[in-house]
A and B are shown apart, each in its own frame.
Chain A
Amino acid sequence: MEQAEVGSAYVETFIQLTITGLANGAILSLAALGFVIVFKATGVINFAQGYFLLVGAYLVWAGMVQFNLPWFFAVIVALVVAVLMGLATERFVLRPLVGENVISVIMVTIGLAFVLQGLVQFIWGTEPRPMPAFIPRGTVELLGVPVTLNRIWAVVIAGAVLAALTLFFQRSRHGIAMRAVADDQQAAMVVGISVRKVFALAWALAAASAVLAGIIVANLFGASGEVAVFGLLVFPVVILGGLDSVPGVMIAGAIIGLLVSYTAGYVGGGLQQVIPYIVLVLILLLRPYGLFGEVRIERV
């Protein structure tokens, strides 16, 4: 009797940790997707990606609390601002740097990260802001285990957006054009694809997907500097998945999410905050192109 209860508690914990991990993983994949899009299409390593999440969290908080907008409009406004932010980043920060060396571009994106963080603190301060619930917060029974609904929604939303973007890259004219530019810029120009427009689109998509991820994070944990810390997990995810692989970020997101969640549940002691970066270092040592990094096609 006693034994069985311990066993079921164990299973329950495991399932809850798994769901938490997958939910975080889905959000991470969404945030990391923008990084991959920008890297694939433009070759820029964007260190500011995590801070786009922070901006998203505060934007939607401001929309709902400061401007009293219904949550739906607050999200739309945040996404519009995100797209504008992405376009502005491309136009005013990165376009002047075309042809500069990689390190300069990386330094500029790190600078952009600090600017975004500074702006957020300047406008909204540093104290954490609790978020009014807009995704239902009840619990449902899943496999006999109570699971909070907002995590399931996080998985559903992130999954739907990832699926839509995947479809966009496979089917739509602009999606194919983006992949063509990623493949061979000059050949893309020759078929009449405007490389500039593709760059702008990449940044807009990157910012929008990161801001959406930030909104989901804010809904789970509230708007605070912690969102940026969560956003930094983008790097272990993209390194693990391979910088330029869309399926890679999805799987790596789930792996990192689960790893953090299990470590928090079973080991604890703050190790969960370090473990993703241990993975990052190991991957860089053992398999620098990640699990799914693009293999150069060479015919023999």
Chain B
Amino acid sequence: MSSVRNGDAGGQGRSAPAPGGPADTALMLELNNVEVIYEEVILVLRGMSMQVPEGKIVALLGSNGAGKSTTLKAICGLLPSEHGEITDGTITFGGIDVTHTDAAQIVRMGLSLVMEGRRVFGHLTVSENLVAGAHTRRDSHADDLDMVYGYFPRLADLRGRTAGYLSGGEQQMLAIGRALMARPRIMMLDEPSLGLAPMLVSEIFDIVQRLNRDLGTTVLLVEQNARRALNIADHGYIMEQGRIVLEGPAADLADNPDVKEFYLGIGESGQRRSYRDVKHYKRRKRWL
């Protein structure tokens, strides 16, 4: 009935995509048993495997410290700048091994990251931020500027404004627009809803969906806001302590009683439970 599968309890990573998994269409990004160690001692990812099919929206969910951001940084080649390294496993992008490729090359290949906390260039103007986003492009990017301003009309009004003084929502839009300027084949977003009002979150998620639909951009969405993320995603992964513990089509995941209980905050009886209970319960029952 449901195709939600639990990850291996013994910590053995899966290597072959299971039937009915996300591998039905061409794979854009694949992580295979990736292990990441920070500062040569702290094991953050322990056999992380996931697949992102071309043209889909994939959500990667999990609580704080599960390793979601580290996963994205590992993909983007950002670990060396944080004293981390991939010690095992492989990451392939469009069939090419990018496990140890450097960050600039990865962007050039068509993989863009919208970092957690927006990270716009605060002292640059809105339009300079966007131009910086097109750094890897040799061709003219005038059309793309128009396209970004089309998706985010508010940025067009603010183009001469210093980015550091924009509101949180505007900065998030700018961060997405900046990533878009590189013409990515896959866009990865790290907690785009962080610290935004619910209205703005809807707006951002709407735009992510439109980008996926109109431009065919594959999306890998890392979120704490599980409900919203599963709402727009095709497929979902749930991560805990550095590996995937549950995965499946987004709709099935949203119906899964465990997910409901731990991430959507809805108890067996259907009514919402207080976050505190959920947190407490979660500590006792883990998938591992």
Contact = CB atoms under 8 A, between A and B. Distances in A.
Bound pair (A, B)? yes
B107 A192 contact: yes
B132 interface: yes
Contacts of B131: 173, 176
A225 to B, nearest CB: 39
B165 A299 contact: yes
The main secondary structure of chain A at its interface with chain B is: helix
A252 B17 CA distance: 64
Contact of B107 (A177, A180, A191, A299): A191
Nearest to A197: B104
A105 B78 CA distance: 24
B81 A189 contact: yes
Given A190-B76, A192-B136, A193-B132, A297 B104 contact: no
Given A186-B81, A297-B165, A299-B164, A191 B135 contact: yes
Contacts of A184: 119, 121-122
B133 A191 contact: yes
A183 interface: yes
A23 to B, nearest CB: 31
Nearest to A185: B81
A188 interface: yes
Interface stretch (B39-47, B108-116, B216-224): B108-116
B91 interface: no
Contacts of B104: 189, 192-194
B115 A173 contact: no
Contacts of A176: 124, 128, 131-132, 135
A183 B115 contact: no
B135 A186 contact: no
Contacts of B162: 297
Contact of A183 (B81, B123, B178, B182): B123
A180 to B, nearest CB: 4
Given A173-B135, A177-B132, A177-B135, A191 B179 contact: yes
B220 to A, nearest CB: 14
Which of A179, A182, A190, A194 has the most B CB atoms < 10 Å from its CB? A190
A299 B181 CA distance: 26
Given A179-B121, A183-B122, A294-B123, A192 B103 contact: yes
Given A176-B128, A187-B119, A192 B113 contact: no
**Interface bracket on A:** 20 to 34
Interface in A112-152: none
B120 interface: yes
Contacts of A299: 164-165, 167-168
Which of B108, B132, B178 has the most A CB atoms < 10 Å from its CB? B132
Contacts of A186: 78, 81, 115, 119
Contacts of A182: 123
A189 B135 contact: no
A190 B123 contact: no
Contacts of B179: 190-191
Interface in B56-110: 76-78, 81, 103-104, 106-108
Contacts of B122: 183-184, 297
Contact of B136 (A179, A183, A185, A191): A191
Given A180-B124, A191-B182, 15 more contacts: A176-B135, A179-B124, A180-B135, A186-B78, A186-B119, A187-B121, A188-B132, A189-B81, A189-B103, A189-B104, A190-B119, A190-B179, A191-B178, A192-B135, A192-B182
Interface of A: 173, 176-177, 179-180, 182-194, 294, 297, 299
Interface of B: 76-78, 81, 103-104, 106-108, 112-113, 115, 119-124, 128-129, 131-133, 135-136, 162, 164-165, 167-168, 178-179, 181-182
9 contacts: A180-B121, A183-B123, A185-B81, A187-B120, A190-B112, A191-B179, A192-B108, A192-B182, A297-B164
